[in-house]
A and B are shown apart, each in its own frame.
Chain A
């Protein structure tokens, strides 16, 4: 789907969320901007969000894609909490959850088994990410 087509009718909505004690949001800003330029609607959470805030935002904004940016190393605690919250509000099934940040290889499987669709580390290209979102954003009505 080209950006043109997305402009009418259904449009991919993303939440870019910074969670926990992590003040580095440059990456999140860059991604928000790149998603915008790709024709997505991007809700940006701002810094230092708690898992429940992220869930609240994801549910209320009804996003197709939730991108969690974590650089603090607390992903093993925070991400599962978000997943549980999404389940609580029946939003788990049709939200594509992505994690961006520095995630050790050992933890990647844990996160994926918790329901994270893909993990993008440093060096992931923007185009790759956008293509991934376009290909995997849940088709729903």
Chain B
């Protein structure tokens, strides 16, 4: 209950401890409460490290709710992370994401690995309610507590989906899961967000997507490390595979193709002008440079997460039938190949650095936003300011400058005086 936008009508909120800074310390207004929170965080960290499912579940709830102490919790769990491989699964609704996740999880379990799954379903924009139905597909992992499956609603507020999901992944990682799978909602912006969390992104493309494939070209395809043609037993699957190949070829077109890793499941899409036709070319700096060229041409966004993906890795196409489990081994092999590439090219380390930087920026934005919200409130609220703007007594720029000015001064004094 640390939402800054919430007015003071909520009796549960202790005192005025609504600012991010205070929430971090525990609620300043209630010392007892803050001790409680600290003790609870201790208990949760201990429980997660000891492999207690309840503690893990409760930690994720705390993270989801942005409940008091969650920052401390995530901060302390962070030290125990970095071991798990994170796979993101995305694709249109009904593509078979949940079923595939189920089969992936059970295959990993057969290999003696532990698995954490976070499955995100959309929330109603009107009531905030949600029906989280991904669990229904988890038929292969009945009663196996070593598959920790957690449904999350894309609440869409409070720091956004990506932050909560990333923090939940942190909890699963600290718990000691070997493999973590994040299944996104069927459509929307969140599909892109997955890039900020997963090491490897698999995009599911159902057969017969037809014109959808064109849409993919502009959007999801760009974030795919692996293109999974699920339901490959259906008519039209071959054609979809063919279309995807064409698309990859187009992406390469115009610029000399980067060195594919030659492990050609389906990467027959080498442009004929490839200087690396031998296919053995690998991680050379010039390759990377060219890769970013071609990225630019493909119209990639400029977001930190998306743009710097080196093109050395060409998206692979894998065919699966999630319902029967056909092709799941191939998919896992492809995921492992991608992992190997990430490690050997040093991209995994770079990716991690970018993410932490982005995470810090996000947190800073959140914190500063809360700080400003508080300041605006202290000055009589935004409505009053807007009234004056409407009456032409002042203007938006002046209001913003007025609010920021004391904070700026304060920060500068501290820095110089420090």
Residue of B nearest to A33 (CB): B131
Contact B143 A52 (CB under 8 A): yes
Question: A interface, how many residues as a size bin?
Answer: 35 or more
Q: Contacting A56 at CB < 8 Å: which of B132, B136, B145?
A: B145
Interface window among A59-67, A103-111, A120-128 = A59-67
**Contact in complex: B129, A40 (CB < 8 Å):** yes
Chain A residue nearest to B158 (CB atoms) is A8
> Are A42 and B129 also in contact (CB < 8 A) when A59-B57, A89-B53 are?
yes
Q: Measured between C-beta atoms, what is the minimum distance from A139 to chain B in Å? A: 8
In the assembled complex, which residues on chain A have CB atoms less than 8 Å from the CB atom of B68? Answer: 141
Please report the C-alpha to C-alpha distance between residue A62 and residue B48 in the assembled complex, in whole angstroms: 14
Q: Do residues B57 and A36 form an inter-chain contact, with CB atoms below 8 A?
A: no
> Interface readout for B41-64 with A: 1 if CB under 8 Å, 0 if not?
000000000000110011011100
- Is A41 located at the chain interface by the 8 A CB criterion? yes
Instruction: State whether the Cβ of B149 lies closer than 8 Å to any Cβ in chain A.
Output: yes
What A residues does B142 contact at CB under 8 A?
A: 50, 52-53, 56
- In the assembled complex, which residues on chain A have CB atoms less than 8 Å from the CB atom of B158? 8-9
Q: Which chain B positions have C-beta within 8 A of A33?
A: 131
A32 and B129 alpha carbons, distance in the complex (Å)? 10
B124 at the interface (CB under 8 A from A): yes
B3 contact set on A, CB distance < 8 A? 8-9
A19–chain B nearest beta-carbon distance, Å: 13
A46 to B139: give the CA distance in the assembly, Å: 10
Q: Which of B203-257 contact A (CB under 8 A)?
A: none
Whether B292 sits at the interface, judged by CB under 8 Å, is: no
A72: Cβ under 8 A from any B Cβ: no
In this assembly, does A117 line the interface, its C-beta being within 8 Å of a C-beta of chain B? no
Residues of chain B with a CB closer than 8 A to A61's CB: 57, 132, 135, 150-151
Within the complex, the shortest CB–CB distance from A83 to chain B, in Å, comes to: 16
The residue from A7, A53, A141 contacting B157, defined by CB atoms under 8 A apart: A7
Q: Which residues of B contact A39 (CB under 8 A)?
A: 124, 127-129
Are B40 and A141 in touch, CB under 8 angstroms?
yes
Choose from B6, B40, B131 the contact partner of A5 (Cβ within 8 Å). Answer: B6
Residues from chain B with Cβ under 8 Å of A38 in the complex: 127, 129
Complex CA distance for A45 and B382, rounded to whole angstroms: 45
Q: Is A90 an interface residue (CB 8 A)?
A: yes
**Complex Cα distance A38/B128, Å?**
8
Residue from the list A9, A35, A46, A141 in contact with B129, Cβ < 8 A: A35
Instruction: For A43, give the chain B residue with the smallest CB separation.
Output: B132
Residues of the B chain whose Cβ atoms lie less than 8 Å from the Cβ of A50: 142-143
Given contacts A50-B143, A56-B143, A89-B54, contact A62 B131 (CB under 8 A): no
For B1, B128, B145, B148, the residue with the greatest tally of chain A CB atoms inside 10 Å of its CB is: B128
The residue on B at minimum CB distance from A4 is B128
Does the CB pair B132–A37 fall under 8 Å? no
A11 to B152, CA, bound (A): 12
Complex contact A57–B135 (CB within 8 A): yes
Q: Is the CB of B66 within 8 A of A9?
A: yes
How distant is the Cα of A44 from the Cα of B68 in the complex, in angstroms?
A: 28
* Distance between Cα atoms of A53 and B144 in the complex (Å): 9
Tell me which of B10, B60, B129, B157 has the highest count of chain A C-beta atoms within 10 A of its own C-beta.
B129
Q: Which of B120-156 contact A (CB under 8 A)?
A: 123-124, 127-133, 135-136, 142-145, 148-151, 153, 155
B5 touches A (CB below 8 Å): yes
Report the Cα distance A4→B355, complex, angstroms: 32
A78 at interface, CB cutoff 8 A:
no
For residue B28, give the distance in angstroms from its CB to the closest CB of chain A. 17
Interface string of B61-75 (1 = CB under 8 A from A): 110011110000000
Contact flags A7-44 to B (C-beta < 8 A → 1, else 0) = 11111010000000000000000001101111111111
Using known A-B contacts A7-B157, A10-B67, A56-B143, determine if residue A36 contacts B124 with beta carbons closer than 8 Å: yes
A62 near B57 with CB under 8 A, answer yes
The answer to whether A37 and B127 have CB atoms under 8 Å apart is yes
A residues 66-107 touching B (CB-CB < 8 Å): 89-91
A111 → chain B, closest Cβ, in Å? 23
- Please tell me if the beta carbons of A11 and B132 are within 8 angstroms of each other in the complex: no
Shortest beta-carbon distance from B150 to chain A in Å: 6
Give 8 nearest A-B pairs by CB, closest first: A7-B128, A46-B136, A62-B57, A36-B129, A8-B3, A39-B127, A9-B1, A52-B143
Question: Told that A9-B67, A41-B129 touch, could you supply 7 new A-B pairs with CB distance under 8 A?
Answer: A8-B3, A9-B6, A36-B129, A37-B127, A56-B145, A60-B53, A62-B60
User: Which residues of A line the B interface, CB within 8 A?
Assistant: 3-11, 13, 32-33, 35-46, 50, 52-53, 56-57, 59-62, 89-91, 141
Question: Could you write out 7 A-B pairs with CB less than 8 Å apart?
Answer: A3-B128, A8-B158, A57-B135, A60-B57, A61-B151, A62-B58, A141-B36
